[in-house]
Amino acid sequence: MKKKLGALVALVLLFSVGVSAQRTTTLKLNEVLVVNNDNYQDGYGSKSPWIEIFNNSAGSVDLKGCFLTTDKNNPTMYMIPKGDVQTKVRPYQHMLFWADAKPGRGTFHTNFTFDPTKANYLALYDSDGKTLIDEVTIPASQTADVSYGLVEDGVSNWVVLSNITPSTNNRTLDSNEKIENFKRNDPTGFGMTLTAMMVVFLGLFILFAVFKLVGNIAVSITKRNAQKQAKATGTEVSNTGEEAGEVFAAIGMALHEFTNNMHDDESTILTIRKVQRNYSPWSSKIQSLRETPKRK
């Protein structure tokens, strides 16, 4: 029993590690600025090169323990600290690192920087220091305050971006693509009308089917209970749950007459009847004094 339990725990741990490793692969190097003369500045007021990482998944991913490097032979050049709670990247969000070679300034300041005179290699490795998550080579002679990034966050090709967007989307959508496609393919709105009607009628059909099924189940349960009762009492019951409409009409009329007899015949006259009561609380012994008050 203990061996089976240990094997189960080991499988769970391996599965959790596998899921964690799989989720880190959704991280993407998204945008890089090599020469920062008059652009975004850090919390110290310095304008340094920066690296933007994008989480291209619907779940949060923690960067703690992962590595950033500019050397293929040294994948563990800068380890992202594990003790910082701010290293978790939310779904489809960005995280910015400063390549200023000043790691003493905090978690998001690397121990390396870029050389603007030559091509710069950049890679992101998983926490094991061996699994490559993403890599890119930034061409040499980058223009000041012009970044190099993906056309669209997490996908597409690397291009020169004249519109620098640190910690935000590389491409901003000014319109809803789905709505535009709908307008283009259905300009008269006939398709939308037909779709709406089909949804309504489909919903009504489903409701009919559900009520029909529930009714059949109720009838079958009633028959079963009646047969059990007949078997216990020795009587014979037939056609239970299949009574004619006249029977239900008679039951309804009887209920109607019964409820009418409980009220006045006149619908607009309130009848007050005197209630004969032999008992009066004023003559009750409970309300009387049990002892005669004594004068002092």
Contact 167, 96 (CB under 8 A): yes
Q: Could you tell me what percent of the chain has a pLDDT over 70?
A: 74
Report pLDDT for 21: 41
Contact 77, 112 (CB under 8 A): yes
In the DSSP assignment, the letter for residue 253 is H
Where b means 16+ CB within 10 Å and e means fewer, 28-51 reads: bbbbbbbbbeebbebeeeebbbbb
Q: What is the pLDDT of residues 219-263, one digit of tens each?
A: 888 888 878 887 777 776 666 556 666 777 888 888 877 766 655
Pinpoint the alpha helices (H) of the chain.
2-24, 177-185, 190-233, 245-261
For range 63-86, the mean pLDDT: 94
Q: Between the ranges 66-80, 143-157, 217-231, where is the mean pLDDT highest?
A: 66-80
**Tokens standing for 296?**
């002092």
What residues does each domain of the chain span?
Answer: 20-169, 178-261
Q: What is the pLDDT of residues 96-116, one digit of tens each?
A: 999 999 999 999 999 999 999
CATH architecture of 20-169: Sandwich (2.60)
Decide: pTM greater than 0.75. Answer: no
Q: What is the pLDDT of residues 259-286, one digit of tens each?
A: 666 555 555 666 666 666 666 666 666 6
